[in-house]
């Protein structure tokens, strides 16, 4: 099958690689630079599994039928299936996802290949698919939410917890077909690795329910992050041992020992925008918890900043802007909110972030990537995630809430 994937962020690229094991996949990007890199099997994003697949493809150990282009017309014209995985950033002023890139892709397809099945993988508001079907007067658009972690997107596509597809009765066969090719992509790698077949549940629902599943799933994760962060805030305020409390709480099998590592707040590409979008969807619907989880994230950043300010440092060093270890993305990372709050008190900030150029500025703060200089110049080092190998020699300077040294 000829498949076109619009978007080469972590969602789109992981899908393109997954499906290129069996199908002829064309990925669309907006820049020639990215297209050139991807056509040489060089990943523009940090993802261990994508990098492994690409390395094996470069060395002739794996076949990936993947081509990347900036030519939208040619890519859509020849497609037998189009997957739309373009970004939908959240607009804080207007309280909605910016779906303009999704609609641009749909309009291109309708111009050059109007009858092809389109599957939206971008995160969208509840009710969006219905509005698009009505706006364009078509029925060949379905929605399938993704449940992927940044830097582990291909791994999560190879080992999915579930596959959800949203389609109406007249498109159930298409929904099953799409679920099958997703399952097929995961099972190709299983067989290659000599593993037994996974039992992957498939859920086919109406598009609006599928949209709600995505937003409610991510908001639950945000609730859990916020819960353990507020537990940690209480423990620090009362002089208690956070780790002992978390260990005791998580021995309850109903709670479980996962997603319980305190941080400076939830961040990244999904959780902040998805919680805000879900809250916006609650207009005229009674709620308190959804609003509380959005507020909780701001309160946590206030608390962390105040903990640092209370130490009266002249210079605060920020070790990494990324949300988690093994990531190169710091978009909407919680630590940026903490930086702004500290800077508001006229405290100097320096940043160690190898993905930025040494000597440049980020958030009006100097990037110092000479590690020895960074440590020497910092009175306090703020680290959302602690690295013993890097920071162990200055542990007395480090402020972190990373109790378990995991994401």
- Over residues 338-353, the pLDDT tens digits come to 999 999 999 999 999 9
Characterize the bridge pairing of strands 361-362 and 202-205. unpaired
Question: What are the beta bridge partners of residue 2?
Answer: 24
Predicted confidence at residue 332, as pLDDT, reads 76
Q: Is residue 14 within 8 Å of residue 157, measured between CB atoms?
A: yes
Phi, psi dihedrals of residue 164, rounded to the nearest 5°: -115, 130
Q: What is the pLDDT of residues 317-338, one digit of tens each?
A: 999 998 766 666 677 789 999 9
Q: Percent of the chain beyond pLDDT 70?
A: 98
Question: Which residues neighbour 177 within 8 Å (Cβ) at sequence distance 6 or greater?
Answer: none
Region of poorest pLDDT, from 14-28, 44-58, 320-334 = 320-334
Contact (Cβ atoms closer than 8 angstroms) between residue 264 and residue 334: yes
pLDDT tens digits along 66-106: 999 999 999 999 999 999 999 998 888 877 889 999 999 99
Burial of 163 (0-12, 13-18, 19+ CB in 10 A): buried
Backbone angles phi, psi at 357, to 5 degrees: -80, 135
Q: What percent of the chain has pLDDT over 90?
A: 88
Distances (CA, A) of 396 to 264, 270, 342, 372, 381: 19, 33, 20, 15, 9
HSE value, Cβ hemisphere, 13 Å, CA-based, for 4: 24
Question: Which are the catalytic amino acids?
Answer: 270
Question: Which tokens sit at 110?
Answer: 């309708």
Output the six-digit token pair for 196.
């037994």
State the average pLDDT over residues 10-32: 97
Ordered by where they begin, the domains of the chain are: 2-205 (3.40.50.720), 262-399 (3.40.50.720)
Q: What is the pLDDT of residue 150?
A: 85
The residue-averaged pLDDT of 25-35 equals: 96
Residue 326 pLDDT: 60
Mean pLDDT calculated for residue range 47-71: 97
pLDDT of the residue at 301: 96
At 90 the pLDDT is 85
pTM of the model: 0.92
Average pLDDT, the chain: 94
Residue 83: CB atoms within 10 Å? 27
Residue 284, pLDDT above cutoff 70: yes
* 84-103 burial code (b ≥16 CB/10 A, e <16): bbbbbebeeeeebbebebbe
> How crowded is residue 251: how many other Cβ atoms within 10 Å of its Cβ?
10
pLDDT score for 325: 62
Note the helical H segments in 239-288: 242-250, 271-281
Q: Is the pLDDT of residue 126 over 80?
A: yes
Tell me the pLDDT band of 225, cut-offs 50, 70 and 90. very high
- pLDDT tens track for 250-263: 999 999 999 999 99
Two tokens at 47?
């993802």
- State how beta strands 365-367 and 202-205 pair: unpaired
Of 196 and 281, more confident:
281
pLDDT score, position 406? 67
pLDDT for 407 beyond 80: no
């Amino acid at each position: 099958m000829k498949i076109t994937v619009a978007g080469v962020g972590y969602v789109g690229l992981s899908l393109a690689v997954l499906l290129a094991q069996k199908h002829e996949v064309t990925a669309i990007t907006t820049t020639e630079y990215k297209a050139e890199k991807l056509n040489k099997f060089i990943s523009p994003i940090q993802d261990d599994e994508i990098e492994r697949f690409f390395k094996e493809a470069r060395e002739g150990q794996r076949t990936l039928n993947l081509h990347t282009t900036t030519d939208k017309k040619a890519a859509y014209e020849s497609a037998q299936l189009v997957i739309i995985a373009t970004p939908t950033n959240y607009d804080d002023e207007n309280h909605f996802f910016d779906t303009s890139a999704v609609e641009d892709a749909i309009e291109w397809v309708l111009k050059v290949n109007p009858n092809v099945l389109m599957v939206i993988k971008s995160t969208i508001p509840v009710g969006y698919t219905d509005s698009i079907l009505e706006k364009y007067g078509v029925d060949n658009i379905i929605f399938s939410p993704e449940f992927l972690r940044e830097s582990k997107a291909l791994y999560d596509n190879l080992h999915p917890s579930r596959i959800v597809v949203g389609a109406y009765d007249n498109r159930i066969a298409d929904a099953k077909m799409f679920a099958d090719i997703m399952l097929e992509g995961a099972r190709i790698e299983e067989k290659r690795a000599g593993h037994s077949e996974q039992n992957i549940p498939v859920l086919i629902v109406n598009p609006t329910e599928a949209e709600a599943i995505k937003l409610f799933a991510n908001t639950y994760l945000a609730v859990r992050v916020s819960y353990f962060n507020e537990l940690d805030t209480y423990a620090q305020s009362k002089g208690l041992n956070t780790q002992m409390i978390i260990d005791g709480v998580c021995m309850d099998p109903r709670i479980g020992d996962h997603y319980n590592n305190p941080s400076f707040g939830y961040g990244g590409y999904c959780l902040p925008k998805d919680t805000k979008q879900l809250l916006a969807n609650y207009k005229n619907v009674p709620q308190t918890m959804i609003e509380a989880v959005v507020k909780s994230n701001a309160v946590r950043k206030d608390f962390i900043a105040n903990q640092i300010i209370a130490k009266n440092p002249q210079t605060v060093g920020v070790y990494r802007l990324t949300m988690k270890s093994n990531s190169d993305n710091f978009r909407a990372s919680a630590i940026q909110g903490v930086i702004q709050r500290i800077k508001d008190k006229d405290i100097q900030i320096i940043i160690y972030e190898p993905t930025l150029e040494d000597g440049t500025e980020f958030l009006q703060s100097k990037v110092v990537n000479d590690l020895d200089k960074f440590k020497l110049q910092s009175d306090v080092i703020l680290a959302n995630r602690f690295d013993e190998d890097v920071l162990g020699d200055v542990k007395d300077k480090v402020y972190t809430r990373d109790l378990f040294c995991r994401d």
